[in-house]
């Protein structure tokens, strides 16, 4: 029974958590009451998104962060929505082996999510997987994504604190984040900070953040340097990450941000469900005929949409 799974998760049963996440990935509708129960009982974890291109060292950074939090007696959930992550088995064997020491720690729960499928679907499933780890009692839940593409930005919408990882010496890389993830980052990590070009990278980042006009009310994005492989800068990064949440809480911004995230999630889910329901009612064959008419330039997409929505009304 799905509700048993929910009770299992709330009692700290890791296998129940793993099974529930599998059913989330499968899009199993019968677990909705279980997810509702977990959502109602949750809300304690600090949800952190860590994003950046492959090769930036995200996984090593997460590995070190997790170990550091474990020393402070905090439990850590890790959800990797990144096919190139060692956590998902996508990386070199050596990297995966290095991660093993945390994989056997009962205070750590690691799970990969498929990043296939449309971005909305991935973000929806990840949001529910976060609910599971939160209800399982994880103090920290880290969501790892590759910082490119639709899914990743959509996934970062569901976390409380967004950490963007870059490496020095990639001018174009830093340029590129202008396009997509500058606005969403709360903390920028320059990893591999023992490489040449770290000063230039920091200057460039800080200049871009200076001109960034996105509204982060009350929070000025921070830049931190790390050398994850040598465990350098990890504690400072943890301070900044926790500082972000503390500030949000103190300024009463956490609720507002929670409301914004819930609004987006409800809207995304509404889009998905509304279209499914409209198409089911209109019929797949009639829908195909409409698409054909648009492709053959007999009607504009607007007219097709109007027909679908009008049949619903009538």
If phi > 0 it is left, if psi is from -120 to 50 it is alpha, else beta; for residue 283 that is left
Q: Which helix (H) or strand (E) holds 51?
A: strand 46-52
Stretch that binds a second copy, among 15-23, 60-68, 72-80, 261-269 (CB under 8 A): 261-269
Q: Which is nearer to a second copy, 221 or 238 (CB)?
A: 221
Residue 308 interacting with a second copy (CB under 8 A): yes
* Residue pointed to by tokens 């999510």: 113
Instruction: Name residue 188's beta-bridge partners.
Output: 164, 223
Out of 68, 176, 209, 247, the only residue in the binding site for a second copy (CB under 8 A) is: 176
Residue 299 interacting with a second copy (CB under 8 A): yes
Q: Which is nearer to a second copy, 1 or 266 (CB)?
A: 266
Q: Which is nearer to a second copy, 23 or 70 (CB)?
A: 23
Out of 12, 28, 117, 178, the only residue in the binding site for a second copy (CB under 8 A) is: 178
Stretch that binds a second copy, among 5-13, 70-78, 91-99, 290-298 (CB under 8 A): 290-298
Quick one: which of 208, 262, 174, 206 has its CA closest to 254? 262
Closest separation in Å from C-beta 111 to a second copy: 20
Out of 12, 55, 117, 283, the only residue in the binding site for a second copy (CB under 8 A) is: 55
Q: Contact 113/25 with Cβ under 8 angstroms? A: yes
Q: Which is nearer to a second copy, 113 or 290 (CB)?
A: 290
Out of 23, 39, 74, 216, the only residue in the binding site for a second copy (CB under 8 A) is: 39
**Residue numbers 131-150 binding a second copy by CB under 8 A:** 146-150
Q: Contact 184/212 with Cβ under 8 angstroms? A: no
Quick one: which of 218, 239, 255 has its CA closest to 43? 255
Residue 10 interacting with a second copy (CB under 8 A): no
Quick one: which of 183, 271, 273, 268 has its CA closest to 219? 183
Q: At what angle do helices 2-10 and 32-41 cross, to 10 degrees?
A: 20
* Residue pointed to by tokens 């799905």: 2
Q: Which is nearer to a second copy, 15 or 292 (CB)?
A: 292
Quick one: which of 20, 40, 39 has its CA closest to 30? 20
Q: Which two tokens stand for residue 91?
A: 């990386």
Question: Which residues sit at the interface with a second copy, rule CB under 8 A?
Answer: 32, 35-36, 39-43, 53-56, 83-84, 119, 127, 146-150, 152-154, 167, 170-173, 175-181, 255, 258-259, 261-263, 265-267, 269-275, 277-278, 290-292, 294-295, 297-305, 308-309
């Amino acid at each position: 029974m799905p509700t048993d799974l929910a009770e299992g998760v709330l009692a700290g049963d890791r296998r129940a958590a793993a099974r529930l996440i599998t059913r989330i990935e499968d899009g199993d509708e019968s677990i909705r009451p279980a997810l509702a129960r977990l959502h109602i009982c949750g809300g304690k974890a600090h949800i952190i998104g860590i994003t950046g291109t492959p090769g930036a060292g995200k996984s090593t950074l997460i590995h070190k962060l997790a170990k550091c939090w474990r020393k402070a007696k905090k439990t850590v959930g890790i959800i990797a929505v990144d096919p190139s992550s060692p956590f998902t088995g996508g990386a070199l064997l050596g990297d995966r082996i290095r991660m093993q020491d945390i994989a056997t720690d009962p205070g750590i729960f690691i799970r990969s999510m498929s990043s296939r499928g449309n971005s909305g679907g991935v973000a929806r499933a990840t949001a529910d997987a976060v609910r599971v780890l939160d209800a399982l009692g994880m103090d920290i839940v880290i969501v790892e994504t590759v910082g490119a593409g639709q899914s990743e930005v959509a996934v970062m919408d569901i976390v409380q604190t967004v950490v963007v990882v870059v490496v020095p010496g990639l001018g174009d890389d830093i340029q590129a984040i202008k396009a997509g993830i500058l606005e969403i980052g709360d903390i920028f990590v320059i990893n591999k900070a023992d490489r040449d070009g770290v000063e230039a990278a920091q200057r460039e980042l800080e200049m871009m953040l200076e001109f960034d006009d996105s509204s982060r009310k009350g929070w000025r994005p921070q830049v931190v340097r790390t050398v994850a492989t040598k465990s350098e800068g990890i504690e400072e990064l943890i301070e900044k990450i926790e500082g972000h949440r503390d500030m949000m809480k103190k300024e009463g911004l956490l609720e507002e941000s929670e409301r914004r995230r819930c609004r987006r999630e409800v809207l995304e889910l509404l889009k998905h469900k509304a279209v499914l329901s409209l198409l089911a009612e209109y019929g797949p064959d009639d829908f195909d005929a409409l698409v054909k008419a648009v492709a053959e330039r007999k009607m504009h997409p607007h007219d097709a949409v109007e027909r679908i929505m009008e049949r619903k009304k009538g």
